[in-house]
Structure 1
Amino acid sequence: MFSLFYFPGVFGESVSVMEGDSVTLNTDVTEILEDDDILWKFGAEKSRIAEISREKQIFFTYDNVPDGIFRDRLKLDNQTGSLTIKNITSEHVGLYELQISGRSFVLPVTYSSRLPVTNITRDCSSSSSSSGSSYCSLVCSVVNVGHVTLSWYKGNSLLSSISVSDLSISLSLPLEVEYQDKNTYSCVLNNPISNQITHLDISQLCHTCAGMEVVILMFICWSDLCLFNSIQFKFIFIVLFTIQIVAKQFYRTSFSGLCYPRQSTTKSPEFCDLRERD
């Protein structure tokens, strides 16, 4: 967002507009009188961009100044003298001065780029369990923003927020919720004239944080070929258990899940059947 500041001693209401939109600067005049002269100027150099004089039969927009930034963008109302600027960009941010029959008014115009979409991610490393309830830690983040506020809402209630006035900065805001929470949560990014809302789906983001799968890998080596049988359990850490058989004569052991030789008619290494010993 680009900000505009008043000149010293000049007062007026600021007008905010989104990138690509149009803005109309009103004169608060219902109808221009015969002897009224209206002149619109822009910027610190006070370049003329539009003019009306009924007495002199002047009704004109100066599209080519300054530097042609207003070309094909200006529309002047010949009844009220109001000026419309189409397809606003950062080049059109600044002070617009209106002169009506010797009286001067200044209208500041501010510009906001369109808000990016926020990103909600989970942080399983920060997830916790307390009093039998499990919690999932989430983070709402956005990059390259300025003059915005980032907030978490539970329904229509504000939970937390963070604001920044600098340009091109990254923001993030954490939130901790229960896995079984049925409430509606949303992350909201807003500036003075618009907002961007991203809704949270707890079932999609938090279900993988509820537990980690433990994989016990049992490696069985036989005739230079190692096979493994994986058994999955849900715990908080990963256990790796390896059983290595170093000699063929030990295959008739009492270990559950070890393999017996299976006859093969090919010259490929022997495979094995996983079964309990009779």
Structure 2
Amino acid sequence: MPSTGLLKINLCENISVTAGVFTDEVKSVSVMEGDSVTLHIDLTRIQKSDVIVWNFGSQDSHIAKISREANKVSVYEDVHYGMFRDRLQVDVQTGSLTITNITTQHSGLYHITISGQKKTSYTFNITVYTHLPVPDISSYCPKNSPSSSSSNCSVLCSVMNVTNVSLSWYKGKSLLSSISVSDLNIRLSLPLEVEYQDTNTYRCVINNPITNQTTHLDINQHCQPCSGESHVMFVFIQ
């Protein structure tokens, strides 16, 4: 009967991930920049005489080696231009690897190989997310907008320099519109049109798989009548 994997993720300042079996399956891990993540091994599958090697990246650069019988740990902090320097912690007894104060450059594949009576391996895929900015809401005048006597208010929710996020408008608990972006570092904007006399609650939310930031729309503060002299055109990213 085929084995199943066990993945344990605690989304907090210290994230712990446990690999329960050794297969070709890749375990995905999400973590916030600046936090720590610990990659564990199932101890029931490790012998005292085993040698454990941790590798990073598609080219499998060694970052740590553990000889349990000799009770010895070697850490290779200078690989990848020293990006792991003073960030790696290895437990000689458990074989676990901890990366502290993690950054986006530490995103990628982490391979563990255990050599003993037989050779087994496991792979973790870590994605590190940056802290999100607070969305900014401002009024704008779309091209061909009605005159200042219009009863509608046009606002734009924007965030700068974002990657792998979604930006959404909500009316109460209902989703009105949303836009997502990945693998880019850009300004992301999403418009909304409401009536000046509208008493509903509106909020703009930016989120990634771990966290979110919210700005509430204050019609009195954010809405300015269009003068008919200044207009804005923008392109939406689908």
Change beyond 3 A, Cα 1:123–1:154: same
Structure showing greater Rg: 1
Provide TM-score, normalisation by structure 2: 0.73
How far residue 201 of structure 1 moved from its aligned partner, in angstroms, is 1.2
Query: Out of 146, 165, 189, which is 2:163 matched to?
Result: 146
Which runs of 5 or more structure 1 residues have no equivalent in the other structure? 1-8, 213-235, 238-278
> What's the secondary structure of 1:91's corresponding residue?
helix
| Separation of aligned partners in 1, 2:75 and 2:103 | 19
Structure with bigger RCO (C-alpha 8 Å, 6+ apart): 2
- For 1:265, the equivalent position in structure 2 comes to none
- For 2:55, the equivalent position in structure 1 comes to 41
Query: Out of 93, 96, 104, which is 2:110 matched to?
Result: 96
RMSD: 2.9
- 1:61-88 per-residue CA deviation (whole Å, 9 max, x = no partner) reads 2223343221110111334221110112
Supply the AA of the counterpart residue of 1:120. Answer: I
Supply the AA of the counterpart residue of 1:192. Answer: P
Query: Out of 156, 169, 174, which is 2:186 matched to?
Result: 169
| Separation of aligned partners in 2, 1:29 and 1:155 | 49
Identity %: 59
Contact 1:127 1:137 in 2 (8 A): no
Change beyond 3 A, Cα 1:61–1:169: same
Change beyond 3 A, Cα 1:127–1:88: farther
- For 2:127, the equivalent position in structure 1 comes to 110
Which runs of 5 or more structure 2 residues have no equivalent in the other structure? 1-22, 230-238
- 1:204-253 per-residue CA deviation (whole Å, 9 max, x = no partner) reads 122x43x97xxxxxxxxxxxxxxxxxxxxxxx99xxxxxxxxxxxxxxxx
| Separation of aligned partners in 1, 2:190 and 2:147 | 18
Provide TM-score, normalisation by structure 1: 0.63
- For 2:76, the equivalent position in structure 1 comes to 62
Alignment of 1:129-278 (within 5 A): 134-206=151-223, 208-209=224-225
Contact 2:51 2:114 in 1 (8 A): yes
